[in-house]
Amino acid sequence: MGARALLAEVGSDEEVAALLADLVRRQRAGELAAGLDLVPAARTVLVDGLVDARELAALSGWLEGWTPHRAPVDEGRLVEVETVYDGEDLAEVAALWGMSAAEAARCHAACTFRVAFCGFAPGFAYLTGLPESLAVPRRATPRTRVPAGSVALGGAYTGVYPGPSPGGWQLIGRTSLPLWQPDREPPALLAPGTRVRFVAVPA
Amino acid sequence: MSAGADGRGGAAVAAGRSFVVVRPGPLATLQDGGRRGVAALGVPRAGALDGPAYRWANALVGNGSTGGSGAAVVEATLGGLALRAAGGDAWVAVTGAPAPVRVGGRPAAWGAAVRVREGDLVEVGAVTAGLRCYLAVDGGFDVPPVLGSRSADLLSGLGPAPLAAGTALPLGTSTPDAGPLHTDWLPLPAPPGELLLGLAPGPRRDWFTADALNALARARYTVSPASNRVGLRLTDGPALARRAGLGELPSEGMVLGSVQVPPDGLPVVFLADHPTTGGYPVVGVVPEPDLAAAAQAAPGTPVRFVPVR
């Protein structure tokens, strides 16, 4: 992808997690430059900031020899997100799933999620872990303002809005956890690779 | 109205030098080398769009490589900027788009270090060509860094807010190197009459029809007035058709210079405030050295792509 970046494409979100974990390990071990940006997404990992053709060729060779595997499920920090399941779209999501709102909330809280990637806004995490059969469509008309802390579904992804913003995802609940604090390390509570469980709490 | 005897003295620094914004012009922001290593968290790189002009402005006032993201400067779109020096004297230099410079009411040099006395008004007039002026001051603008950079990121709102009248911008400590860089040669190209952008193959080049790729290599577009720090939007050229039956592209990482093609088929060249991931296919990537000219291409400028490896 240009002279300074490589975009590696793999077969599934689990392989993205595994490739990212391997690249991060190599970076920590000093085999990859510390200044490289490793940007995971749905089916790809972007490596950006390569300084020259030699570095690019070396990484390209390593990527070609990389064997797809799944990331170990118990790897990564675990964050519990206390959530009030009272989102404006919870009833609609529950109807799509063929269950009551309470059952939909229990179903969502029973899954273990992983931050697949961030994007859209600083600290906005795309979480995988919901079965593909529970994927929901985006809202036909996006909301002009979604409150900070909204827990939402888009396709099979779960996301939590770090700040108020426009948004087209289905709102199922809310959390008061601060998701984005630029002076914290890391500034995003939900950085790629983090495991996440939603814990239902009363309003 | 005056500071220390020689204007570089410790007294002036201790008093806290600052520049107070009198007129920000259409859009003025603080920029440095931008943010790195945080794209995975969804944070754009930001930073000065015209890298060479940014670096020369700093070099002219003696801001050496300070490590990290470099000294912060003002990036003034279309010029029209006025700042008043407070708390001490300073050296300033204006580069980028040519514009008349006045200091203390008198005409001053563009592209050179100029001495500014405490209380002086520093004015950058409307640009006479190009788009973005860079105003550097010795010591740099010393607002609190966010994630290692003092750059305003207009996509996600990180970093200092765009300049507004009345805001006092603190200056960093002047260094022993502060003062004019003596050079009679400044490698700052004129703003482009026609913008030629190299285009390396992008990761989703094969999403486009052969006709679209041929058209892209030959077509002339123009810079759209909807362009901004996020992207150079192109118009008045062929819409690039995707091959049939490919569906939706899952979101993937984007790099500086990515030429993304949204459903309307008109290419967008990603600049410093670009989103870190995107769901439209990238047909090609413009090499970073070509983006300085893109930062100075005013709306209406003709644009052509030149295939490169």
| B63 touching A (Cβ < 8 Å) | no
| A168 touching B (Cβ < 8 Å) | no
Give residue B193's pLDDT.
84
| Cα(A158)–Cα(A108) distance, integer angstroms | 9
| B79 touching A (Cβ < 8 Å) | no
Check A37 against B36: CB less than 8 A apart.
yes
Alpha carbons within 13 angstroms on the beta-carbon side of residue B112 total 14
Check B42 against A188: CB less than 8 A apart.
yes
Q: To the nearest whole angstrom, how far is the Cα of B204 from the nearest Cα of chain A?
A: 9
Mean pLDDT computed over A83-110: 97
Three-class SS state of A40 = strand
Over 60: is that where the pLDDT of B1 sits?
Answer: no
Q: Which residues from A are below 8 Å from B272, CB to CB? A: none
Q: Which amino acid is at B38?
A: V
Q: To the nearest whole angstrom, how far is the Cα of A202 from the nearest Cα of chain B?
A: 30
- Concatenating the DSSP letter of every residue in A124-149 gives -EEEE-S-GGG-BPPPSS-EEEE-TT
Under the banding of pLDDT at 50, 70 and 90, the label for residue B15 is low
Among A179-193, B8-22, B115-129, the range scoring the smallest mean pLDDT is B8-22
pLDDT in tens, A58-84: 999 999 999 988 777 667 789 999 999
| Cα(B124)–Cα(B84) distance, integer angstroms | 12
Mean pLDDT computed over B87-108: 96
Give the distance from CA B179 to its chain's centroid. 23
The pTM score is 0.91
Q: Which residues from A are below 8 Å from B275, CB to CB? A: 119-120
Q: Which residues from A are below 8 Å from B67, CB to CB? A: none
Question: Are the beta carbons of A116 and A126 closer than 8 angstroms?
Answer: yes
Q: To the nearest whole angstrom, how far is the Cα of A120 from the nearest Cα of chain B?
A: 7
Share of chain B above pLDDT 70, in %: 92
Q: To the nearest whole angstrom, how far is the Cα of B194 from the nearest Cα of chain A?
A: 23
Over 60: is that where the pLDDT of B3 sits?
Answer: no
Say what the ipTM of the complex is.
0.91
